[in-house]
Amino acid sequence: MQNLINFIWRNNYFFLFGILQFFSLWLVVDNSIFQRTALVNSSNTVSGSFLSIYNGVEKYFYLRHNNESLVAQNTKLLSENKSAYIATDKAEYSSNDSLYRHQFTYANAKVISNSVTKQNNYLILDKGSKMGIQKEMAVISPSGIIGIVKDVSPNFCSVISLLHQETRVNAKLTRTGFIGTVLWDGLDYRYVKLIDIPCHLNVRFGDTVITSGYSTIFPEGIKIGTVTVVNPNKNDNFYNITVKLFNDFNRVDYVYIIKNEFKSELDTLKSHLK
């Protein structure tokens, strides 16, 4: 206590000056409507700015939490969607059978690394073998196709992006059902090529391209993009088709990893056809 008293005594001029300043300000504000209004407005502006900053920070953390919650809910809905099942038409079946068998299961993941500027691009996700992730699983986002799982560690996995020159995806045009193959030419991360479509077929600007379901990796109907360029190729009888991707690969955040429960069985059958 004595030290506090000594401190105040040593700095008594400073404290006296502060008291007089506050008293003077109070007199000015109390006797002037203009000054009082200005002070109130200034106080509101300052407090409003602090509240705005606080609310912005608070909303950011809530937004991240809500995004993670929505991704988890969407994963559950995708796994329960009719497109995740395969039809099994049987004249007779027991009580344990169903008209549909679960073919595709979904797991959500967060992108922790991504590239779009290389000739062969990859992503790294925060899910691995501990979570049941395996090689050659499909990876999509709410906007469409992303790539295919390449390597898996206990807690992470690498993904060959659609923006990779070795990636080939079976695709079809929704309006006509024509089947082709989507690949990236290594130029612009916003566009891919649709090949193997003969020139005698009807292809239009704006046609939607989706996965065909012919592969054992991607389910049918996953969005890819829309046709922006359709030109006959001078060297053969096939179109040169450019497709603008629905996905913005520069802004991929959360994704879904898809497992085909019948992939091994289908791959075995296909290997016998070679």
Check if the beta carbon of residue 203 is closer than 8 Å to that of residue 172. Answer: no
Query: Where does the chain show beta strands of DSSP type E?
Result: 85-87, 100-102, 104-114, 120-125, 138-141, 144-152, 157-164, 169-173, 179-183, 191-195, 208-211, 223-232, 239-245, 254-260
Looking at residue 262, its pLDDT comes to 87
Cβ-proximal residues to 39 (8 Å cutoff; 6+ apart), any chain: 29
d(CA 262, CA 163): 27
pLDDT in tens, the chain (274 residues): 666 666 666 766 666 666 766 666 666 555 655 454 554 454 544 444 554 565 555 545 445 544 554 555 565 555 555 454 444 344 333 334 445 567 889 999 999 999 999 999 999 999 999 999 999 999 999 899 999 999 999 999 999 999 999 999 999 999 999 999 999 999 999 999 999 999 999 999 999 999 998 888 999 999 999 999 999 887 888 999 999 999 999 999 999 999 998 888 888 888 888 6
d(CA 257, CA 47): 46
Looking at residue 236, its pLDDT comes to 84
What separation, in Å, do the N-terminal and C-terminal C-alpha atoms of the chain show?
Answer: 94
Tokens describing residue 8: 């105040």
Looking at residue 205, its pLDDT comes to 95
Looking at residue 93, its pLDDT comes to 35
- Residue 205, Cα to own-chain centre: how many angstroms? 26
The one-letter amino acid code at 35 reads Q
d(CA 215, CA 237): 25
